[in-house]
Amino acid sequence: MSRVLILTTGGTIGALPVERIDRMPHFKTMPPEGDVVAEALKVDFKEWDTRCVSLEPRDSNFIDAPYRENLARLIEESEEQRVILTHGTDTILDTAAFFYERRKGHPSYTGKPIILTGAMVPLANGTFSDGYQNIAFSLQQLCSLSVPPPPLESCIVRV
């Protein structure tokens, strides 16, 4: 099984817990330090071979072109051939479209599938969070691919 690069960007999946999941605030509060997703990987997904890179956590409404360019650079320079990108749900499709266009004719994306995933409830809310299932699904999908993985025409989005 190949190592999976996991890039965390914040979003609901990495936000601080919310009091009521039936009344989610529009903007989520990011932890002042640490990374909820990285911690979950160490504890709940330790059997998977992953390398986690925590970027500046942002509500996805604040993920802009320079931030996406930095994500692309990290993916393009990575040795890992499988990538999960945790992302807020408000603009996850914008980032998927960015990578769809970016990977056209770019050799560093050949055979390197990227799954973007997020959550409607923060991981910090524990078992109420759909983020655990989304990360598990993403890891299972990437690790079930043949080596090298088949060429993909687009990014996969799991929310």
| Overall fold of domain 4-158 | Rossmann fold (3.40.50)
In the predicted structure, residue 70 carries a pLDDT above the cut 50: yes
pLDDT value of residue 154 = 45
The model's pLDDT over 3-52, given as tens digits with 9 standing for 90+, comes to: 899 999 988 888 877 766 565 555 556 655 667 788 887 888 888 889 99
CA distance 86 to 71: 11
pLDDT (average), residues 132-138: 91
Q: What percent of the chain has pLDDT over 90?
A: 37
CB 87 within 8 Å of CB 115: no
List all residues 6 or more positions away from 120 whose beta carbon is below 8 Å from its beta carbon.
Answer: 12, 24, 89, 130, 159
CA distance 120 to 138: 16
Q: Indicate the burial class of 38 (C-beta count within 10 angstroms; 0-12, 13-18, 19 or more).
A: middle
**What residue spans define the domains of the chain?**
4-158
pLDDT (average), residues 128-139: 90
